[in-house]
Amino acid sequence: MRHLLHSPRPSTIRCWLAGSCLLGLATLPAPALAQQSLLPAGWDANLKLAEVADTNPDPKVVEVNIEARLAKVELEPGKVVEAWTYNGTIPGPTIRANVGDRLIIHFTNQLPEATTIHSHGIRLPIAMDGVPG
């Protein structure tokens, strides 16, 4: 994945909050994204993850608010449970940023235990990566 993060062509980094981790995935460069899918349009309408809103007007800055909190979620039809969530969803919302953007996450913990956001697939100094200790 490293070569995608340093590619001069436009790429997208998609991040998902799941459990107590921020998961990152670098997608293919823009030309590969334009290839036609073999799946019918709308096949994933019920599968799409929630997205968190970018509150910063600067096109090179992605600024989001993430809240860890207890929420009722429906795991399957008719099966509602209380769970630890990010912004009320499991997995948490997708964070979209382009390579080279500045990502600012305002994190609020409303859980009864300490928690962090940890990333996968994004190169960060360890001191900024939510790793305990």
- Cis (ω within 30 of 0) for the bond into 10? no
pTM of the model: 0.62
For 32, the enclosing helix (H) or strand (E) is helix 30-33
Beta-ladder partners of 98: 12
The residue type at 43: W
Query: pLDDT tens for residues 54-105?
Result: 999 999 999 999 999 999 999 888 999 999 999 999 888 888 888 899 989 9
Q: 99 burial class (0-12, 13-18, 19+ CB within 10 angstroms)?
A: middle
Residue 16: predicted pLDDT: 44
